[in-house]
Amino acid sequence: MIRLAILASANGTNAQAIIEAARDGRLDARIPVVLTNKEDAGVIARARNFGIPVEVVPSKGHRNRAEYDALVVETLRKYDVDTVALAGWMRILSEVFVNAFQDRILNLHPALLPSFKGATAIADAYEHGVRVTGCSVHLVTPELDAGPVIIQAAVPVNGTVDELEAQIHRMEHRIFPQALQWFAEGRISVWGHKINVAPASERVKKIDYIEGCIVSPPLEEKI
């Protein structure tokens, strides 16, 4: 079982999906804290609704990213966390943070990496006219959105950009808890820049197609 901190800057729907997965037994994690850099972030109410402590560490007024990240790391240490989930954390991490939780930070990105990095990935993919985009969960390295990919969901580009965003978010809510569960089970290994997910130790149902989207590796449900 991992001790997971969730970092989020906005509404917190992905944070809620992770919390619900842990509550329902689909994720072997204790979540001792949710941390945000925004005093008005929607994730605050979501976390408190589940009785999870919230730390608000405002990001304004610091000299640089390293100074701020050192403060966040210090705050997380109080909760004895060993793993970090970036669920809409709208800040670029410094090496101070990455080194503090090396190889134990998972990030969710709303595109099929390595394409469309950065904060405007959904709009960028839509404006670029791609036929398929999606979302990715990856391990975090000092380089932005460049760590090894654990799982991806491919989402066809249909309708408006708002409809695309909604579909991507639905897939995010499925793949992020799954990636965290594989991590909690110790099934993830890194070979160069590639991730291997070891077979499950018990029987599972594999789901690689959902709501018109392809998921790889497949989602798993216990039988």
**What band does 132 get if pLDDT is binned at 50, 70 and 90?**
very high
| Predicted pLDDT of residue 183 | 97
Which pLDDT band holds residue 99 (cuts at 50, 70, 90)? very high
- CB neighbours of 161 closer than 8 A, spacing ≥ 6? 122, 123, 126
Residue 130 has pLDDT above 90, yes or no: yes
Whole-number Å distance between alpha carbons of 57 and 188? 31
Q: Indicate the range of 62-66, 72-76, 113-117, 156-160 predicted with least confidence.
A: 62-66
Active site residues: 109
Helices 161-184 & 13-23, crossing angle to 10 degrees? 40
Kindly report the pTM of this predicted structure: 0.96
> According to DSSP H, which parts of the chain are helical?
13-23, 43-49, 65-77, 95-100, 121-128, 161-184
For residues 112 and 155, give the distance between their C-alpha atoms in angstroms, rounded to a whole number. 9
- Which domains occur in the chain, in start order? 1-102 (3.40.50.170), 108-223 (3.40.50.170)
* Cα 6 to Cα 18: distance, rounded to the nearest angstrom: 9
- What's the burial of 145, exposed, middle or buried (CB within 10 Å: 0-12/13-18/19+)? buried
The pair of structure tokens assigned to 195 is: 């991730």
Helices (H), 12-138: 13-23, 43-49, 65-77, 95-100, 121-128
Q: What is the CA radius of gyration of the chain?
A: 17
The tens digit of pLDDT for each residue in 44-95 reads 999 999 999 999 999 988 889 999 999 999 999 999 999 999 999 999 999 9
**Tally of CA atoms within 13 A in the half-sphere of 47 that contains its CB:** 25
